[in-house]
Amino acid sequence: MAAVAGNPSAAAEDLEPQREGVPGLESQRRQIEIGESGRERPLRAGESWFLVEQHWYRQWEVYVQGGDQNSSTFPSCINNAKLFQDQINWGLKKGLVEGEDYVLLSSAAWHFLVSWYGLEQGQPPIERKVVELRGIQKVEVYPVELLLVQHSDMGTPHSAQFSQIDSIDLVLRTAREKFLVRPEKETRLWVKNSQGSFERLCNTRVTVLDAALKSGQLVVMETRNKDGTWPSAQPQTGNKASKENEDFQCQPGICGLTNLGNTCFMNSALQCLSNVPQLTEYFLKNRYLEELNFCNPLGMKGEIAEAYADLVKQAWSGHHRSVVPQVFKTKVGHFASQFLGYQQHDSQELLSFLLDGLHEDLNRVKKKEYVELCDAAGRPDHEVAQEAWQNHKRRNDSVIVDTFHGLFKSTLVCPDCGNVSVTFDPFCYLSVPLPVSHKRVMEVFFVSMDPRRKPEQHRLVVPKKGKISDLCVALAKHTGVSPERMMVADVFSHRFYKIYQLEESLSTILDRDDIFIYEVSGRSAICENSREDVVLPIYLRERTPARDYNNSYYGLMLFGHPLLVSVPRDRLSWDNLYHILLYRLSRYVTRPSSDDEDDGDEKADMAPKESIPKPGHAAGCSSQNPGPEQAGPSSGVAGGSRAPMNNAPGPSHWPQRVRRKHLFTLQTVNSNGTSDRSNFNEDTHAQPYIAIDWEPEMKKRYYNEVEAEGYVKHDCVGYVLKKAPVRLQECIELFTTMETLEKENPWFCPSCKQHQLATKKLDLWKLPETLIIHLKRFSYTRFSREKLDTLVEFPIRDLDFSEFVMKPQNELAPELYKYDLIAVSNHYGGLRDGHYTTFACNKDSGQWHYFDDNSVSPVTENQIESKAAYVLFYQRQDVARRLRSQQASSDPPAPPACGPPPNSDSMDVN
């Protein structure tokens, strides 16, 4: 409405046609001053109030109080010119005071006045929000004025005003409007703080006040590049690299992941998850932005979800051959310390963490209520199951739950009172066991008492939970030697690490252990003095010149394989022991002539034979003990290797030694063979160990090292315990088989009021859209760790779960129980080292690809099944059909897939 000048009555006449329906002056006063729309009513946080220039409002008051519509006091249209600094940006003058410069009107009162009198042409309304600060409501006359710029153009900022209770989302929408950003483009905001650095405004649902934004702060909006990257994440040469990536074009999703150093486990899990169609579409279409949960105490402040989203957008942009997942790796390590560094981990373990992290970051439940778990208590299964699922959804509601969560039926039965407990529990993946063989193949070396026979290598099949005696029985079938004449020892670094008793468990022997089984006299035992023969552990040592004292000092170093030798108790003398050992070593030790023996030590021959020194003194040599053993590389001492264990007491009478020096000398030593023992106390139960000490020249002359190390392979070495392939359905059947709880994990029976080893049975009640099946290939026990390389035959299509699901089936929709394979995480190698790769089916092209870190290559379906399969991803057929129909109606044709032609060599593992 234009301003009116001159005769007020003429003005009133001119206005009369336009002011039809305008209430009387008293009615106007009441509507503006009194009642719900009146300016005197209390303020309410969040509502809008308007500023009106004080002079105009006072004139309006005089006008309506006069009661004469034709009065010269008619205020004309609303004019707030005195409140503005200029008529360009329309910013308020500083220091305006309510009651002196302006009055505040409620939104209703303002709109009444504008409808009755109009607003000066070109002037914006001065709308302000009511904010609550420290429990007090007040109108925010001076809002926060932010300077908005684009990341690509940091030149002239655009000024925009926001209330402290406005959301950051409004700031983002305002910036998008100012910079004309298209709706499909993804944007985010950064704010420059007082230190000059930039911080992300992650949570767009918080207010300007909560984000601590102040007037004059610079807010930068950046737009995601076509290749899925953010400009701020690029290095200085990022613009050039981004331009190159945008020029490159290939099939979306056919993108490798760089190995950052033992991160193949992470790459494999990410590639599998990235090829779950509905989850990837959820991120590509930005539906996650509305569901990011920044306040969940169990979550990761949305950071894991955002980092994963960035990775998915880059991999599915179609502009990358490979992506470096460094930011994602850093985020994972920050929230899960077990993944810090660059050690090898388990892909299923990382997958479990990632699914849980994404769920909590995207949980639609912002405040979790307490839910008490209830037992069935005799109620129908479908009623209890529905209650359990609803309770689960009351606390957990996310795209992860929608896609991956199913429901177990768990049945526990008390063995004493027969009480049955039925509960329904959610699950995110199935960890199914593999049928385990009860047999075990062990390789041993058999050392015969016959010195002419070389040691024999045998491959024996024994019970996995058997005893040492079972190992001897199995060997007896190959050698014809009675198990009672066998002793089993673990040899490590030229010494006995352990000598086993027959009743010990085979599980204490690891596959990497070097096991020697010695034939001994049937009359002997290492731990019983009542037997006629004594078994002596024998070590071989060589004197080596030390590097100091001008080579005048000698050390000792173990070499060769130790022996267990049976010696008749009535022949326990050093001279007899020398000849017995010379006989046992005759295959690789040349027996010297009498002249050689005499030349060995003339002084020894001059000594009277009845003069017998104490054990531990070399005959014919100085009475002083030789110095400490010179620990060499083959001794295992310097490396801190494991020490032998004593298992049996020694004889009560120890032989005296002859002084005459022959090819070698004999010395009583400790169980390590590292220090000499001068004598044995008859009252001790220490196992006697004997060392054969060689002089270097004598060893070189009479000891044949090549022959000593020689052995033969028995025919059984060629035997391989064949592992028949198993079907995936067998693993699922085994998973649902009833079992008895272990002693370490009893169940508290509410009826008996005590812990019981109850029987437990798990059944499948509700299956998810995408079913993850983890094959438990890694077996860990107290004494052993192994990987099961059993071939599991799994179908690519039509995996039918109808026979496993307990929930009443829908016969009209059989596809609700049928699944197709979409991805496989593979593990090659053993426990200590290994490599992870992925097979995955592209959701757009339907082509299978093999992902090996950076490398991606097409494969055929007959290449997917292997012994390396570790984690399987199956998608329900009805979901796949729904997604295909949606894609056919909306998506353009996919570009050709990039990568080399199919080549089976691409699956070789280094």
Which residues belong to the active site? 264, 835
φ, ψ of residue 560 in degrees (nearest 5): 65, -175
Would you state the structure tokens that stand for residue 679, as one six-digit string?
Answer: 């004598």
Would you state the structure tokens that stand for residue 223, as one six-digit string?
Answer: 């737009």
Using an 8 Å Cβ cutoff, are 175 and 137 in contact? no
Tell me how crowded residue 154 is: count the other CB atoms within 10 A of its CB. 10
Would you state the structure tokens that stand for residue 271, as one six-digit string?
Answer: 């590639």
Cα–Cα distance, 387 to 445 (Å, whole number): 62
**Which of helix, strand or coil describes residue 82?**
helix
**Which of helix, strand or coil describes residue 126?**
coil
Q: Which amino acid, one-letter code, is at 609?
A: K
Would you state the structure tokens that stand for residue 274, as one six-digit string?
Answer: 């990235």
What does the radius of gyration of the chain's CA atoms come to, in whole angstroms? 44
Q: Which of 882, 871, 819, 799 is nearest to 840 (CA)?
A: 871
Beta bridge mates, 690? 538, 668
Q: At what angle do helices 277-284 and 303-315 cross, to 10 degrees?
A: 100
Judging by DSSP bridges, how do beta strands 198-200 and 218-223 pair with one another?
A: unpaired
Beta bridge mates, 871? 774, 825
Q: Which of 828, 772, 856, 825 is nearest to 272 (CA)?
A: 825
Judging by DSSP bridges, how do beta strands 664-669 and 689-694 pair with one another?
A: antiparallel
Cα–Cα distance, 321 to 135 (Å, whole number): 56
Would you state the structure tokens that stand for residue 447, as one six-digit string?
Answer: 């050392």
Cα–Cα distance, 3 to 365 (Å, whole number): 56
Using an 8 Å Cβ cutoff, are 201 and 187 in contact? no
> CB within 8 A of 18, min separation 6: which ones?
1
Tell me how crowded residue 646 is: count the other CB atoms within 10 A of its CB. 16
Would you state the structure tokens that stand for residue 515, as one six-digit string?
Answer: 């096991």
Would you state the structure tokens that stand for residue 627, as one six-digit string?
Answer: 């110095």
**Which of helix, strand or coil describes residue 660?**
coil
